[in-house]
């Protein structure tokens, strides 16, 4: 991230320089993309330059413009490949060499970037591109000399969180319960997620990125009474993503396989294998939507004495749509998400049909503060719950105030209120959870 910010400050982006000022008055065929480039509409420019390349295949200038669109939208691997094609098409182009050096540096290929920019200096020592690149070259050399060369931050991601929580109804005891034993406790919750993406495998015809991830989640309660609620789970995932352009707007298609193993109260609890696909589309400059489809195979170790009633083994299917609107220069984010879930299990009482709706708001405040709140409604229908049909209506309100400091760290104060109403008395409850958390992401 430091390298990315550094290079953003050092490399100067001039819209006219991006389209090679030496040819601006001579070549008019590329001009349909000029207005989009100047206005920062790189997805639209990308689409138009693709059409122009059908008329002018292998054109070095068009390939360079296409590479700049990818560079500006942070598809660094793809930008490197396209700009290399542009340089192959026009080996004398100083501009293509300049932008290729940028793309390599952003990607984290520091020594390669230095070699390309030094070659540019040798070929055109007095050019404007060399003047623009000089400050960056100094810093890139300093990075190499100090052995502080950073890996490509776009290829890997880490997130960790540790929290202490007070829960006033850990076992979700019903409101009318006469049991006066402990039901509240403090707990320690922790999670870790890591992801690594390999470079793009193909460009244009099917840009595919392969990656894998690892997750760890745990929750340890203070009182031994709640030992059965202590949870530890870890998951492994492999995913393939494909980025492209639809109706002049960028999209991302992702397919992911995941395996999760969970222990509860020190005993093996469940194993879940799942496949999930999603399609995200920035259909408007300030809006995006993601459609998802998922399937999970559920295997639980303890099915009870009567598995035909109590077993959780089975399959779960989900269909979802997430929508986000980004306002006030991305300082305000509004979300509206819906998911429909079907769970078919060996035990009839755990068959489920659920409609889940969530509205969310995230607001960036002064002094590096961020307010987040969401309200979720779940209508859970158990159609074969023994001799009756069980219907639960669950409302969950969560709000947090977050403080971001040292760029990567976030301090969070959170509160959750959940209430469940049901046609069966034992499924009605109220719950309050207070959270203090520290998270780090990089």
Last residue of a domain, one of 145, 180, 197: 145
Q: Are residues 76 and 222 in the same domain?
A: no
Which residue shows structure tokens 């396989």? Answer: 257
CA dihedral for 191, 192, 197, 198, sign (positive or negative): negative
Residue 195 lies in a domain: yes
Same domain, 7 and 118: yes
Helix ranges (DSSP H) in 271-381: 307-310
> Using one digit for the tens of pLDDT, what is the confidence trace for 59-75?
888 888 888 888 888 78
CATH number at residue 125: 1.25.40.10
CB 201 within 8 A of CB 219: no
Q: Categorize the per-residue pLDDT at 433 as very low, low, confident or very high, splitting at 50, 70 and 90.
A: very high
Of 239, 227, 235, 318, residue with least CA distance to 266 = 227
| 3-class SS of residue 318 | strand
Same domain, 200 and 114: no
Instruction: Tell me the pLDDT tens digit for each residue of 137-150.
Output: 887 877 666 554 44
Do 213 and 112 lie in one domain? The reply is: no
Residues in Cβ contact with 68 at an 8 Å cutoff, skipping those fewer than 6 apart: 18, 37, 42, 79, 99
The answer on pLDDT for 313 being more than 80 is yes
**Token pair for 292:** 């998802």
Give the total number of structural domains in the chain. 2
Tell me, yes or no, whether 81 and 103 share the same domain: yes
Q: What is the three-class DSSP state of 363?
A: strand
**Does any domain span residue 209?**
yes
DSSP secondary structure letters along 109-145: -HHHHHHHHHHHHHH-TTSHHHHHHHHHHHHHHHHHH
303 and 229 in a common domain: yes
Which residue(s) pair with 316 in the sheet? 296, 343
3 — pLDDT class (breaks 50, 70, 90): very low
The mean pLDDT of the chain is: 83
123, 145, 167: which is the final residue of a domain?
145
65 and 164 together in one domain = no
110 and 207 housed in the same domain:
no
pLDDT tens digits along 248-273? 777 888 999 999 999 988 788 899 99
Angle at 221 between CA 219 and CA 227, to 5 degrees: 100
**One domain, residues 116 and 161:** no
pLDDT tens-digit profile of 37-67? 777 788 888 888 888 888 888 888 888 888 8
Q: Judge if 249 and 369 occupy the same domain.
A: yes
The domain of 12 spans 2-145
Residue 151 in any domain: the answer is: no
Within a domain: residue 150? Answer: no
């Amino acid at each position: 991230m430091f390298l990315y910010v550094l290079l953003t400050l050092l490399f100067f982006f001039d819209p006219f320089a991006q389209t090679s000022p030496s040819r601006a008055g001579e070549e008019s065929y590329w001009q349909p993309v000029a207005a989009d480039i100047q206005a920062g509409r790189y997805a639209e420019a990308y689409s138009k330059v693709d059409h122009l390349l059908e008329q002018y295949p292998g054109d070095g200038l068009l390939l360079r413009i296409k590479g700049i669109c990818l560079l500006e939208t942070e598809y660094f691997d793809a930008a490197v490949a396209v700009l290399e094609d542009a340089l192959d098409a026009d080996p004398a182009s100083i501009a293509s060499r300049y932008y290729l050096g940028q793309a390599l540096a952003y990607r984290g290929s520091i020594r390669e970037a230095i070699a390309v920019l030094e070659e540019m200096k040798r070929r055109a020592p007095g050019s404007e591109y060399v003047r623009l690149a000089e400050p960056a070259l100094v810093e890139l050399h300093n990075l190499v000399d100090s052995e502080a060369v950073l890996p490509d931050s776009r290829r890997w991601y880490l997130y960790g969180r540790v929290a202490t929580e007070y829960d006033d109804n850990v076992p979700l005891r019903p409101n009318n319960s006469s049991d006066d034993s402990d039901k509240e406790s403090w707990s320690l919750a922790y999670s870790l997620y890591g992801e690594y993406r390999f470079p793009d495998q193909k460009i244009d015809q099917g840009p595919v990125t392969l990656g894998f991830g690892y997750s760890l989640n745990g929750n340890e309660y203070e009182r031994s009474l709640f030992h059965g609620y202590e949870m530890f789970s870890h998951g492994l995932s492999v995913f393939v993503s494909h980025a492209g352009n639809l109706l002049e707007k960028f999209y991302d298609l992702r397919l992911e396989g995941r395996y999760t193993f969970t222990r509860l109260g020190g005993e093996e609890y469940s194993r879940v294998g799942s496949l999930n696909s999603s399609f995200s589309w920035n259909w408007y400059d300030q809006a995006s939507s993601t459609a998802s489809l998922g399937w999970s195979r559920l295997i639980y170790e303890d099915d009870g004495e009567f598995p035909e009633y109590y077993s959780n083994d089975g399959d779960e299917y989900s269909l979802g749509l997430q929508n986000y609107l980004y306002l006030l220069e991305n300082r305000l984010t509004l979300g509206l998400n819906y998911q429909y879930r079907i769970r078919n299990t060996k035990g009839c009482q755990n068959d489920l049909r659920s409609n889940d709706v969530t509205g969310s708001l995230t607001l960036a405040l002064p002094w590096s503060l961020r307010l987040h709140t969401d309200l979720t409604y779940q209508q859970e229908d158990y159609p074969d719950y023994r001799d009756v049909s069980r219907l639960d209506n669950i409302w969950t309100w969560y709000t947090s105030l977050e403080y971001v400091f040292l760029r990567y760290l976030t301090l969070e104060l959170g509160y959750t209120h959940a209430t469940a109403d049901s046609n069966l008395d034992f499924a009605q409850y109220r719950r309050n959870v207070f959270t203090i958390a520290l998270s780090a992401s990089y």
